[in-house]
Structure 1
């Protein structure tokens, strides 16, 4: 069965104007050069210190680039981009496009514009806009389980202005182009990757029963190993110390097992 859901927690910001490519190229962690219409790439906007501020799908559109961002943070993204605009010939406006996901394939009979989710082959297909909308047959919980089963983090798993993108596995899901040149936060990001300074990562964990609350401590014996981010029955993502994955891990007194 093909599952299809409208992602109500995501929204679009439109960046248009002659300088849109060069403007975004110097800001985000993913290259936007050569972005074709209806092509999607994944990236982030970071702080100058290299911490994540926004995770973004970067979508090519005729005469514009759409940024698919967490709906709760869209106005903050618009304000942040306007700070960086200076003399660039760009317009930055909230968009009205809906955001959709479908898996394991695009929905039958769907209109044009469906593209593979760039974070992992086989994860899902994604679409933007009201044209030829499909009929949703799944909800947010089914989509959450789908991505957790494949170990893919989303905005609800990130602590913005605190986490580093490589801790959130953006380097493993095509979210950082290390060859593109400068972007905001590039120096810290490249140094962490180059020097092997990644000490924690998002890791899928399995357990019995309902998911622990966000922020619940994962323990390795008496030592803190990390914390839970998002979860569903029997499955969650946790930000864990890589040097404490071996041994008896527990959360809320329950055994947990990291898995790939």
Structure 2
């Protein structure tokens, strides 16, 4: 099979007559398109206060199988939370034994395009692991300001609108209620975002999460993934002017 392994992902199988409806009431995106046809939806699970907990892909394969494709580092906590919400719903979540493949070449049969951005190519799910990763995914993410689970997306800290979920097709404002919906809708309709993820030029390097300061030494954000002389930063947009510093690295808005 084409593509390469994504070894940091966990894949669950989702079964039961309430499976999609159960998730529909919890996550930020609309899963109803998956009721009738194969597809892939990227969505997040939030706290009641609207803060990010986890993001994942919900997949309907051509044979009708439902999958959740999630970062392994978030899998255990997310499974515990989903189990807590399940109550009496007819939903079972179990390990699938599948491996995630992804690539930028011609997609194999059964692959689906990554819904976040065309530059991310395709995803597929296989019983066999693919070859070791060789594509510089960090460079692609930096170029298009695409956050990663557990890096730019920090559980119980990040807000998805500041992280670009609307631009990356991870939230639907017409789908109705979900956990954290009220806060997210208020941020969308009643406030002007003063913070957010942006692409910056970086001279030097700094550890992920390094605080960024303005020329007067005031904190204005944090620097995350870096690649090819650029990076993704979470910045206070009304203060991010001039030469900024992240440790020993120099930072400017790209």
TM-score (norm 1): 0.88
**What does residue 159 of structure 1 align with?**
154
Q: CA deviation at 1:235?
A: 2.3
Using the alignment, how far apart are the partners of 1:218 and 1:122 within structure 2? 28
Partner of 2:52: 52
Q: Deviations over 1:190-209 (max 9, x none)?
A: 10011134221111222223
* Number of residue pairs the alignment of both structures matches: 249
Report the Cα offset of residue 4 of structure 1.
3.6
Whether the aligned pair in 2 keeps the contact of 1:38 and 1:113 (CA below 8 Å) is no
In 1, distance between residues paired with 2:46 and 2:55?
9
**Compared with structure 1, are the counterparts of its residues 5 and 231 closer, same or farther at alpha carbon in structure 2 (3 Å cutoff)?**
farther
Paired residues of 1:106 and 1:114 also in contact (CA < 8 A) = no
By how many angstroms is 1:64 displaced? 3.8
Match of 1:220?
A: 214
Q: 2:124 aligns with which of 117, 127, 147?
A: 127
Q: Give the RMSD, CA atoms, in angstroms.
A: 2.0
**Partner in structure 1 of residue 20 of structure 2:** 21
CA distance in structure 2 between the partners assigned to 1:172 and 1:216 by the alignment: 25
Q: Name 1:67's counterpart in structure 2.
A: 68
How has the CA–CA distance of structure 1 residues 154 and 71 changed in structure 2, closer, same or farther, with 3 Å as cutoff?
Answer: same
SS at match of 1:144: helix
| 1:81 alignment partner in structure 2 | 82
CA deviation profile, 1:168-225 (whole Å, cap 9, x unmatched)? 111210000110000010000010011134221111222223x310221112212211
CA distance in 2, matches of 1:26, 1:93: 20
Matches within 5 A, 1:112-151: 112-130=109-127, 135-136=131-132, 138=134, 142-151=136-145
SS of the aligned residue for 2:66 comes to strand
Displacement of 1:258: 2.1
Which runs of no fewer than 5 residues in structure 2 stay unpaired?
none
C-alpha offsets along residues 87-142 of structure 1, whole Å, 9 cap, x if unaligned?
Answer: 11111112221112212x335xx3x12111111133321112226x6545615xx1
Which residue of structure 2 lines up, in the alignment, with residue 237 of structure 1? 232
- Is the 8 Å Cα contact of residues 5 and 143 (structure 1) preserved in structure 2? no
Mapped partners of 2:228, 2:46: distance in 1: 32
Secondary structure of 2:98 counterpart: coil
Per-residue deviation, 1:233: 4.6
| In structure 2, distance between residues paired with 1:170 and 1:146 | 17
Match of 1:10 in 2: 9
Q: Which SS does the other structure have where 1:153 is aligned?
A: coil
The 8 Å contact of residues 5 and 133 in structure 2, kept in 1 or not, is answered as no
